Amino acid sequence: MSKRIPAVVFGATGYVGGELLRFIATHPSIGLAAAVSASSPGTRIAQVFPTLAGSFPRAEFRSADRALEEIADGDRLAVFSAAPHGASAPLVANLLERAEARGIEARVVDSSADFRYRDSASFEAVYGHAHPAPRLLADFACAIPEHSPDVPAKHIGHPGCFATASLLAAVPIFATGLIEADVFIAGITGSSGSGRSAGAGTHHPERHSNLYAYQPLAHRHRPEIEALIRAATGQAADVQFVPHSGPFVRGIYVTLHARLRKSIGTRELSAHFRDYYRNSRFVQVLDRPPRIKDVAASNNCHLSVTAERQHAVVMCAIDNLVKGAAGGAVQWMNRLWGLPEDSGLGAPAPAWI
């Protein structure tokens, strides 16, 4: 542990928190210092996540006040937050203040929505309340690693899972400058995307053998997708986004439809996508439509494209909890500390999940 960067995980009892613990358990350069839970301090990790019993047989969840107990003054610190929107920013702000007072060099990757916008007005317009820690916004940038070759800020706000899948599909085609600003995106997500707390949208009898749209053209990821397309490509985007709830637990499947300014073929467009992602360890462009089971539980993204006359369709499959949250967060943390980007993330999808 002394040779590994200690990590603190906020919101560690949730689905994304559990995935962060799973990746930290086998990470060669990052080790768990504190799994923080407001609801379960003192409870063993193995009791909440039996699959992690072999990795953390005696470790317990801690309160936020105890998060820095095992970290030496002047040490480094990797902070992952999977806390809920609105609750994450105060936790991060408090920990950063305490770490600075002890000379601890900290890097944060936040998987909530609290640091996805550069200014508090944009955040408030989408989420309907004032930002909890506006003074920290200037220290954060929001992007997915594949669209930001450099480390853009000291800390990272990870895009949402729907936004991640949509951006992986949208950014390369916007970067061509060949499409109109209007694009339609339909996305289907598994029940784990709604979090651990049970609700009507995640109740098994409602989702089993069922498929339905929700918040059509009004989902909160829409402005996030538009803003990040512009940030990555300089192109304006008018995204018509319709999310759906699918009858499975893990994964997101996105289909993007765009109108091209000139006719190009599938082979030409596929070649552009392959060139765009040529240095991206976790993105593969296929010759056939992707499938969720081929990426579930991994940090991989599978894409495919089809073009006919002036119409283009891009399909994208990712795991919502991994590439869309915990895996992407670990990928960013690796880069923030100058580690190999795929450290701890190399396991392939199990396929029969």
Active site residues: 161
Question: Are the C-beta atoms of residues 178 and 261 closer than 8 Å to each other?
Answer: yes
From CA 24, how far away is CA 285, in angstroms rounded?
28
Bridge partner residues of 183 (DSSP): 239, 258
From CA 347, how far away is CA 176, in angstroms rounded?
32
Question: Are the C-beta atoms of residues 353 and 43 closer than 8 Å to each other?
Answer: no
Q: Sheet of 301-308: strands edge to edge?
A: 212-213, 238-245, 179-189, 252-260, 311-318, 301-308, 283-285
Q: Which residues of 18-30 are buried (b: 16+ CB within 10 A; e: fewer)?
A: bbbbbbbbebebb
Q: Is 322 exposed, middle or buried (0-12, 13-18, 19+ CB in 10 A)?
A: buried
Question: Are the C-beta atoms of residues 259 and 311 closer than 8 Å to each other?
Answer: yes
From CA 65, how far away is CA 222, in angstroms rounded?
36
Count CB neighbours of 278 within 10 A: 9
Q: Is 67 exposed, middle or buried (0-12, 13-18, 19+ CB in 10 A)?
A: buried
Pairing of strands 238-245, 301-308: unpaired
From CA 25, how far away is CA 12, in angstroms rounded?
13
Question: Which residue shows structure tokens 């701890």?
Answer: 344
In sequence order, what are the residues at sequence separation of 6 or more whose Cβ sits closer than 8 angstroms to the Cβ of residue 142?
115, 116, 117, 118, 156, 157, 158, 159, 224, 228
